[in-house]
Amino acid sequence: MKSVRLLFACGASYVAMTAHAHADPVSLLATAIHGFLLSSTAVAAAATGTIATIAANVIVGGALIGISIVGGRQQRSGAVNAADAKSTFETSESSVIEGLGRVRVGGMKAFGNTDGSTRWRLVCRLQGPIDAVENYYVGGREVTIDSDGSVTTPPWARPGGAWMKIEDKKGDGAETAWGVLVSAFPSLWTADHQVRGIAQSLVTYYNPGLSEEKYLALYQNGVPDTEEVQRASLIYDPRTGLTAWSDNGIICAAHVLRRDPAFVADRFDWSLISQEADRADGLVATKTGTEKRARCSGMWAWEGARKDTMEDILRSIGAEIRMTTEGRIWFELIDDDPLAEIAFTPRDFIDFDWACGPEAVERPNICRVSYYAPERNYEMADLDMTGIAWARVDDEVTQYGPKIFDVVLPFQPSAAIAQRIARRLFRLARAESGIAVTNMAGLAAWGKYYGTMELPDLGDVEKVRMLSPRVDDGRGSVEIPFSVWPDLPAWNPETDEADAPDPIPEMAYESTLPTPDAPTAMVQITYPVSGAKEFRIAYALPGVSFDTAEATCRVYTGGLPGPWLPMAEQPTFAHITADFLGQTVDARVRIFAGDEGSYFSPVFSQTGVVDDTPCGLPTHISGDAESSTTGNGTINVTVEASELRCASIRLSRRWGPEGGSFGSWSIIDEKDLRPGEDATFSDTYTNMTAAVHIVEWKLTTMTSGGIEGAPLVYSIEVSNPTP
């Protein structure tokens, strides 16, 4: 297959990032974008009819053979190298890169230029459309993005804006040209440069001035690259009939195979695929709780061999391709104890060639496992299998030396599930095998993978994994290669599962600042006076010297997290104008001293709720109420509330004759406020008679639901004996 050469935004061309506006001809840019979007697939789109069918069967058949028995490390991989995909790269050639599940991706620099001060960089991330961006990174450090794309994390934040902006398009095919590029470079970027169908980011770098100290803080190592954690491709789910984001391993496998034009929808058995997709979503026990059985995350190149990609995916999710008797494709998860589909007895055998498995000097005796690890910033990571009995055969290691069996799962995002799959592959690699020569009854094994064979003369019945039968018409016989299925005991997470690796810091250096504790509470506020909505979180920051705090939150929709949102920070809490009532919310906080930031606190998760627990007394700050014998009693006080749930403070008044009963309370004033904010209240009561009136004012803190807290009461006497 061919790669369309990218003659723009690569190599020496990219010096335009640091020079005044100049670039290659616009037509070459169009070629670059077209190449990124439309690189050919494993079977050309023009292949139809018999040619496409033959090509399709080759890919399916190859995948079946490739993953049939042993798995293990492959000479070639269909996955994009995770570490490479995180970089922002320049290249003269590129294939389409597509993501599955959650991925962390840099991208291809498709355009870069400057007007002499402000710089712009257009980065093609992945084949679109994608679902959403969950996290942003600048120079390896996680940052928070405002709704307009402004980077609000130090050192990029500035009063009234930011020194950097990241704007995204999902690649849904409805993209139009970036207006700012058209305005800045009208001879280079026109309305025809739409970059459709590619998930992309336009990164804007603002210049604080070359002579300013801030310039070195931002750009001392050059223009920083950006990365994103994305919920990648939208995938057709036959269970709902919708195309939406999913990391379900079964429907991800179907999606990748369908990217090839030879594999039209009619070639699949969607009913069976739906059943297996439900099994993939089923929960299995792990050392830390439960997880879905088969998820899929990773990146693949359209230009790569589709067989290699499918082998990697199926091995990573623990599944295999199957075909119905009608020739339709489906995918089945591999159980530790699969059901036999056929049974052979000695009367079916003409010959039986039994091998005892690999020789001991060649048989693998140590299993190593690597997977696509979110804990390692979405790169491949090896698991420490020390102390896991099934992963090491000590007697053989001592006698014959270590014989390593590598299980590489580039589309498996779970350490726990990766080990379940690895145990089975490791035991299969050590298993006994053979070839059964049967009479024509062996043809019944066609399309079946699992069976039982009663061994001649011994009477033992073994469960086997079969390869495709080979028919010898001349002899009237069928050869069935097989491997004895291992007896796998029930998985015990406590003893069979190694711990996932510890998360590594996102930043390129070790912070000297302490990591804050997780936030402690969150509450949804409706202000009683204005009706405005606000969401708050509470935290306690470390008792060290620092300049600023950064609090962020994100809300889940349909069980999926949105992007992290910036909040307005106060000493003990943060707030954002939003209504998250009834939604699951994550919150976290970190501190900065200058440009150095601590690590984010652990995440605190809770459903957004209203807390109507009555508040305590408002705190008196200043002022008082004053009695009067001239007819006018007054109050002028400043108070504040301290509770996270406070929504307003209300001033009420009542009076009664001396020695008599009070009348009812009347609301005089009410003010919306946040914890720690001062509110000043004033009122005057007039009594121009000689009779003494007892006047009381009360200040009460109100919750969103209108519940009054304990009152702060002021009482005076008002009269006018000499009118």
Supply the DSSP symbol for 499: P
Alpha-carbon gap, residue 407 to 422, rounded angstroms:
6
Give the burial string for 560-572 (b: 16+ CB within 10 Å, else e): ebbbbbbbebbee
Three-class HEC string of 507-521: CCCCCCCCCCCCCCE
Which residues partner with 482 through β-bridges? 434, 466
Give the burial string for 81-108 (b: 16+ CB within 10 Å, else e): ebeebbebebbeebbbbbbbbbbbbbbb
Supply the pLDDT for residue 582.
Answer: 95
To which H or E segment does residue 619 belong? strand 619-626
Tokens of 368: 């190593």
Low-confidence ranges of the chain (pLDDT < 70): 1-77, 89-94, 356-357, 506-510, 723
Of 630, 626, 611, whose CA–CA distance to 720 is shortest?
Answer: 630
The H helix count followed by the E strand count for the chain is 11, 45
Q: Do domains 521-607 and 619-718 have the same CATH topology?
A: yes
Ordered by start, the domain boundaries in the chain are 11-38+107-224, 236-333, 342-496, 521-607, 619-718
Percentages (nearest 5) of helix, strand, coil residues in the chain: 20, 40, 45
* Domain topology for 521-607: Immunoglobulin-like (2.60.40)
> Which amino acid, 290?
T
How many Cα atoms are found within 13 Å in the side-chain-facing hemisphere of 262?
21
Cβ neighbours of 294 (radius 10 Å) = 29
Torsion region of 346: left, alpha or beta (phi above 0 gives left; psi -120 to 50 gives alpha): alpha
Give the burial string for 613-625 (b: 16+ CB within 10 Å, else e): eebebbeeeebeb
- Cα separations in angstroms, 346 against 352, 441, 446, 454, 591: 9, 12, 19, 6, 74
Residues 6 or more apart in contact with residue 285 via CB below 8 angstroms: 491, 493
User: Would you list the DSSP string of 9-77?
Assistant: SSGGGGGGGTSSS--S-HHHHHHHHHHHHH---SS-TT--HHHHHHHHHHHHHHHHHHTSS-----SS-
Extended beta strands in 306-403, E state: 319-323, 329-333, 342-344, 349-355, 366-373, 379-382
Of 176, 179, 226, whose CA–CA distance to 197 is shortest?
Answer: 176
- Cα separations in angstroms, 489 against 404, 452, 493: 22, 19, 12
Alpha-carbon gap, residue 639 to 675, rounded angstroms:
11
Alpha-carbon gap, residue 615 to 570, rounded angstroms:
20
Under 8 Å between Cβ of 534 and 518 = no
Under 8 Å between Cβ of 260 and 59 = yes
Alpha-carbon gap, residue 335 to 331, rounded angstroms:
13
Of 441, 439, 434, 438, whose CA–CA distance to 467 is shortest?
Answer: 434
Alpha-carbon gap, residue 718 to 715, rounded angstroms:
10
Residues 6 or more apart in contact with residue 51 via CB below 8 angstroms: none
What is the sign, positive or negative, of the torsion defined by CA atoms of 255, 261, 266, 267? negative
Residue 493, classed as helix, strand or coil, is: helix
Of 499, 330, 491, 373, whose CA–CA distance to 421 is shortest?
Answer: 491
To which H or E segment does residue 427 belong? helix 415-429
How do residues 265-276 score in pLDDT, each as one tens digit? 999 999 999 999
Supply the pLDDT for residue 398.
Answer: 93
Supply the pLDDT for residue 83.
Answer: 77
Give the burial string for 322-353 (b: 16+ CB within 10 Å, else e): bbeeeebbbbbbbebeeebebebeeebbeebe
Of 222, 229, 211, 27, whose CA–CA distance to 121 is shortest?
Answer: 222
Extended beta strands in 324-466, E state: 329-333, 342-344, 349-355, 366-373, 379-382, 404-409, 433-438, 450-454, 461-466
Supply the pLDDT for residue 597.
Answer: 84
- Cα separations in angstroms, 218 against 146, 147, 205, 680: 19, 22, 9, 43
Tokens of 26: 């616009």
Supply the pLDDT for residue 509.
Answer: 55
Residues 6 or more apart in contact with residue 131 via CB below 8 angstroms: 170, 230, 231, 232, 233, 234, 244, 245, 560
For the 619-718 domain, the top CATH level (class) is mainly beta
Alpha-carbon gap, residue 117 to 614, rounded angstroms:
55
Give the burial string for 263-290 (b: 16+ CB within 10 Å, else e): beeebbbbebbbbbbebbbeeeebbeee
Supply the pLDDT for residue 674.
Answer: 97
Alpha-carbon gap, residue 562 to 362, rounded angstroms:
50
Of 83, 97, 94, whose CA–CA distance to 140 is shortest?
Answer: 83
How do residues 641-675 score in pLDDT, each as one tens digit? 999 999 999 999 999 998 889 999 999 999 999 99
Supply the pLDDT for residue 355.
Answer: 75
- pTM of the predicted model, to two decimals? 0.81
Which residues partner with 354 through β-bridges? 434
